[in-house]
């Protein structure tokens, strides 16, 4: 069983519906040119990028959503007023983006698996910043962290030394601003 939900849509309206039905989830979207009856896109870069993108899906976090969106035929895509360009500000296909963030790979960037990892790391760093903020508030108030923050790669030590979460699996505790495995949060580009 897949640890992420795989959704295929065609066109802007189906895309909007798929996103609205999955509010609050981590959504990765791959925009591609339409495919013909033989399953081949009119966009040669999309044909080249798709196996690379699909090969990286195993790195998605559990509970994520992957949306494969066909943007339309070539003439629709070339129209500067199409909904994808006008509303989502897409500039090219293929485009891989983390919905709701500025993180995206466009055209040739989608060919490079190492850049896909960068998009994931930026997301993790963002989650760590959120967890640090929540952890600081929780520690100051003497309460534990629950919900989405307990899934982030951080350990927060309370004022009495209790470890609130330890996803790296080691037995030690860590000060606020340090990952459970001992590396300072600054190694993730955190403040």
For residues 159-166, give the mean pLDDT: 37
> Which of 16-20, 114-118, 159-163 is least confident?
159-163
Percentage of residues in the chain having pLDDT higher than 90: 47
Architecture of domain 5-111 in this structure: 3-Layer(aba) Sandwich (3.40)
> Is 168 one of the annotated active-site residues of the chain?
no
pLDDT digits (tens, 9 = 90+) for 64-105: 999 999 999 999 999 999 999 999 999 999 999 999 988 899
For residues 166-170, give the mean pLDDT: 37
Q: Among 16, 46, 69, 128, which one carries the catalytic annotation?
A: 46
> Is 69 one of the annotated active-site residues of the chain?
no
Q: Is the pLDDT of residue 117 over 60?
A: no
The per-residue pLDDT of the chain, averaged, comes to 72
Whole-prediction pTM value? 0.62
Q: Among 16, 43, 163, 181, which one carries the catalytic annotation?
A: 43
CATH 3.40.30.10 boundaries in the chain: 5-111
d(CA 123, CA 100): 11
């Amino acid at each position: 069983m897949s640890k992420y939900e795989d959704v295929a849509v065609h066109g802007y309206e189906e895309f909007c519906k798929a996103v609205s039905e999955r509010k609050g989830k981590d959504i990765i979207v791959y925009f591609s040119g339409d495919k013909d009856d033989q399953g081949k896109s009119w966009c040669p870069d999309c044909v080249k990028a798709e196996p690379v993108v699909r090969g990286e899906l195993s790195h998605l976090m559990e509970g994520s959503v992957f949306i494969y969106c066909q943007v339309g035929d070539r003439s629709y895509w070339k129209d500067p007023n199409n909904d994808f360009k006008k509303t989502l500000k897409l500039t090219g296909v293929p485009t891989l983006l983390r919905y709701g963030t500025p993180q995206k790979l466009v055209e040739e960037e989608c060919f490079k698996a190492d850049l896909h990892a960068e998009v994931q790391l930026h997301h993790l760093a963002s989650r760590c910043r959120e967890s640090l903020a929540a952890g600081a508030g929780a520690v100051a108030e003497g309460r534990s962290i629950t919900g989405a923050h307990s899934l982030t790669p951080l350990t927060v030590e309370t004022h009495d030394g209790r470890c609130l979460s330890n996803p790296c699996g080691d037995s030690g505790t860590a000060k606020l601003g340090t990952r459970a495995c001992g590396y300072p949060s600054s190694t993730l580009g955190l403040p």
